[in-house]
């Protein structure tokens, strides 16, 4: 039986583990699941996998612990930086025809998320506080308005969601089972689930809404137009050509804007409004002043506050000079013609000698 950690993602899963957050790692690509080689999984990759699955920090990385890979081997190697929100946001390199021999398929154990979650909002780092206790998920009640920024900070830290931004109460007029939590205990222990005092039914009870700073996923950056070619860890753009850098983010909140930053000779700091969760920055006449790293930052106003994402992975651009490129091509063509002529000469000479011998 396959056990998929948290069942909350269509791109990555852990199978054949003893809990929801452990098992052999498989990645979904082209509508099918593939195993990952143990040698291709490092701590940064594991952090992103555990985060995407809603689990805690990665613990044990061990191949073969959860059986040999039954699925085909994934032909790409993850190159996560560790702060991405999902595996699909990570860079990857292709290794067509790769096998895991002699190493086994990657196994991963993430720590228990601790039975604490924020629900009801697009981000896992904002929403109504719920705690799992005695096998049941219930919202936390705040009848005396005791919850403040310090207790909310313990929740954000527990969820690896940065620092607390706000803690508010929400009124709910329905009868429902809830958990009551000792706020002084939360402030001291930073383990909200260990501070449950009482389970009961409350009418017109007040819930707890927590908003943490790491609300937004890391944006993506790509080169979408222009005459370019892959060059080492980036792209080489033809000098004089126009090119477009695209910033995008997984759909979460509507609106917002993207900022494009560069460490080039003439640094860029451009802002465009997000349309369909992306923005396209058209840059004209590629020149040597454009060489350098480009990154995107996503901004959005929600909960009456402004939030900014972490920077995207860096996109490195360099220049391909047209004259130099043409000279290299001419040299290569002439070299091939000379080598072809020499080969033909020796072929004809050998054929002539063989014919004379007969």
Q: What's the half-sphere exposure (Cβ side, CA atoms, 13 Å) at 104?
A: 15
What's the rounded Cα separation, in Å, for the pair 27 and 283? 35
| Two tokens, residue 216 | 């937004």
Instruction: Reply yes or no on whether the pLDDT at 97 is more than 60.
Output: no
User: Could you tell me the pLDDT band of residue 4, with boundaries at 50, 70 and 90?
Assistant: very low
């790409």: which residue's tokens?
76
| Structure token digits, residue 242 | 């126009």
The residue-averaged pLDDT of 67-88 equals 73
Decide: 17 and 66 in contact? Cβ < 8 Å: yes
Q: Mean pLDDT lowest for which of 111-120, 124-133, 176-185, 222-231?
A: 222-231
What are phi and psi for residue 213, nearest 5 degrees?
-75, -35
Q: What is the mean pLDDT of residues 93-100?
A: 60
pLDDT tens digits, residue range 310-353?
899 899 998 876 555 556 666 677 778 888 788 777 777 777 77
Structure confidence by residue, pLDDT tens digits, 199-231: 555 555 688 999 999 889 889 999 877 666 776
352: left (phi over 0), alpha (psi -120 to 50) or beta: alpha
17 has pLDDT over 80: no
Q: What is the CB neighbour count within 10 angstroms for residue 315?
A: 22
The pLDDT value recorded for residue 149 is 93
Which of 59-73, 255-269, 341-355 is most confident?
255-269
pLDDT, tens only, 53-65: 877 777 666 555 5
Read off the pLDDT band of 1 (50, 70, 90): very low
Q: Is the pLDDT of residue 76 over 80?
A: no
Tokens at 141, concatenated? 């009640």
Q: Tell which wins on pLDDT, 298 or 71.
A: 298
Q: Which two tokens stand for residue 157?
A: 């830290």
Q: Quick one: pLDDT at residue 167?
A: 93
Using pLDDT thresholds of 50, 70 and 90, give the confidence band for residue 281. very high
Identify which of 158, 257, 157, 168 has the alpha carbon closest to the alpha carbon of residue 211. 168
What's the average model confidence in pLDDT over 170-192? 77
Q: For 84-96, what is the mean pLDDT?
A: 76
Q: SS3 for 106?
A: coil
Structure token pair of residue 192: 């909200």
CA distances 46 to 119, 194, 235, 318, Å, are 24, 27, 27, 31
pLDDT above 60: residue 235: yes
- Share the mean pLDDT of the chain: 79
Residue 89 confidence (pLDDT) above 50: yes
- Separation between Cα atoms, residue 4 and residue 16, nearest integer Å: 8
Q: Is 231 exposed, middle or buried (0-12, 13-18, 19+ CB in 10 A)?
A: middle
Q: Which two tokens stand for residue 217?
A: 């996923």
Indicate whether 267 pLDDT > 80: yes
Question: What does the radius of gyration of the chain's CA atoms come to, in whole angstroms?
Answer: 28
Q: What is the pLDDT of residue 258?
A: 97
Query: Cβ contacts of residue 197 below 8 Å, gap of 6+?
Result: 180, 181, 182
| Residue of 53, 59, 143 lying closest to 107 (CA atoms) | 59
User: What pLDDT shows up at residue 293?
Assistant: 94
pLDDT above 90: residue 185: no
For the chain, what is the largest distance between any 2 Cα atoms, rounded to a whole number of angstroms?
110
State the pLDDT at residue 202: 58
Q: Let me know the angle formed at the C-alpha of 66 by 61 and 72, rounded to the nearest 5 degrees.
A: 95
Please report the pLDDT score of residue 331 as a whole number: 66
Confirm if 106 and 38 have CB atoms less than 8 A apart. yes
Q: Where is average pLDDT lowest: 107-116, 123-132, 164-173?
A: 107-116
């Amino acid at each position: 039986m396959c056990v998929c950690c948290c069942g909350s993602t269509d791109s990555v899963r852990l199978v054949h583990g003893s809990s929801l957050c452990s098992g052999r790692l498989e990645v979904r690509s082209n509508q099918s699941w593939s195993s990952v080689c143990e040698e291709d999984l490092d701590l940064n990759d594991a952090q992103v996998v555990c985060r995407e699955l809603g689990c805690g920090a990665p613990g044990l990385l061990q191949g073969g612990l959860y059986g040999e890979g039954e699925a085909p081997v994934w032909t790409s190697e993850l190159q996560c930086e560790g702060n991405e929100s999902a595996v699909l946001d990570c860079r990857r390199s292709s290794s067509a025809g790769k096998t895991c021999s002699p190493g086994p398929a990657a196994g991963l154990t993430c720590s228990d998320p601790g039975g604490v979650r924020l629900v009801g909002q697009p981000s896992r780092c904002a929403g109504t506080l719920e705690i799992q206790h005695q096998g049941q998920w219930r919202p936390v009640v705040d009848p005396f308005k005791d919850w403040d920024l310090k207790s909310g900070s313990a929740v954000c830290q527990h969820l690896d969601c940065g620092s607390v931004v706000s803690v508010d109460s929400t009124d709910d007029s329905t009868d429902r089972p809830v958990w009551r939590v000792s706020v002084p205990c939360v402030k001291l222990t930073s383990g909200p689930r260990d501070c449950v005092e009482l389970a009961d039914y409350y009418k017109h009870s007040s819930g707890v809404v927590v908003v943490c700073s790491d609300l937004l996923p890391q944006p993506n950056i790509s080169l979408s137009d222009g005459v370019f070619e892959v060059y080492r860890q980036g792209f080489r753009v033809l000098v004089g050509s126009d090119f477009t850098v695209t910033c995008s983010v997984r759909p979460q909140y509507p609106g917002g804007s993207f900022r494009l930053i560069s460490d080039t000779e003439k640094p860029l700091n451009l802002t465009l409004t997000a349309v369909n969760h992306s923005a396209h920055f058209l840059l004209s006449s590629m020149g040597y002043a454009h060489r350098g790293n480009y990154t995107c930052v996503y901004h959005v106003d929600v909960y009456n506050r402004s939030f900014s994402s972490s920077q995207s992975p860096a996109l490195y651009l360099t220049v391909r000079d047209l004259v130099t490129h043409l000279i290299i091509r001419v040299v290569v063509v002439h070299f091939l013609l000379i080598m072809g002529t020499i080969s033909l000469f020796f072929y004809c000479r050998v054929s002539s000698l063989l014919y004379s011998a007969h």
